[in-house]
Amino acid sequence: MDFGRLPVKPQDADVPVIPSNKWSTADSCLTKTYEFRLPEQRNDFLKQVLDHEVEVGHNADLFVTEGSVEVKLQTKDIGHATELDREFAAWSDELYRDVVYSLGHDRRQF
């Protein structure tokens, strides 16, 4: 694979890396931690997750640190993860890719 043609080389330190970790299923919850290099990316991700919660009427437990957001999903009245949680998880993964690879947030010129 020739990375020379891409605008960003994978070995560059400032290139965001999509984590390969999958959702874990501990304590009847789906759990995943998303890492961010820029606070603006983390904040944008959080805002959109909170907006999505209102839109779909389903809440996630969010744990925020300086460079990461842990998302825990569980349908509380049932006590375990359901299809609604799996859909929320898939949506969160897509959102993360959009936020991290958005040139508007990356602040780099290619």
Query: pLDDT digit string (tens) for 71-85?
Result: 999 998 888 999 999
Hey, what domains does the chain have and what are their CATH numbers? 34-102 (3.30.1360.20)
Which residues are registered as beta bridge partners of 31? 24, 72
The three-state secondary structure class of 47 is helix
* Per-residue confidence (pLDDT) for residue 84, from 0 to 100: 93
Q: Angle CA(108)–CA(102)–CA(55) in degrees, nearest 5?
A: 150
The whole-angstrom separation of Cα 64 and Cα 45 is 11
pTM of the model: 0.74
Give the pLDDT confidence of 17-71 residue by residue, as tens digits: 555 468 998 888 999 999 998 999 999 999 999 999 999 999 999 999 999 999 9
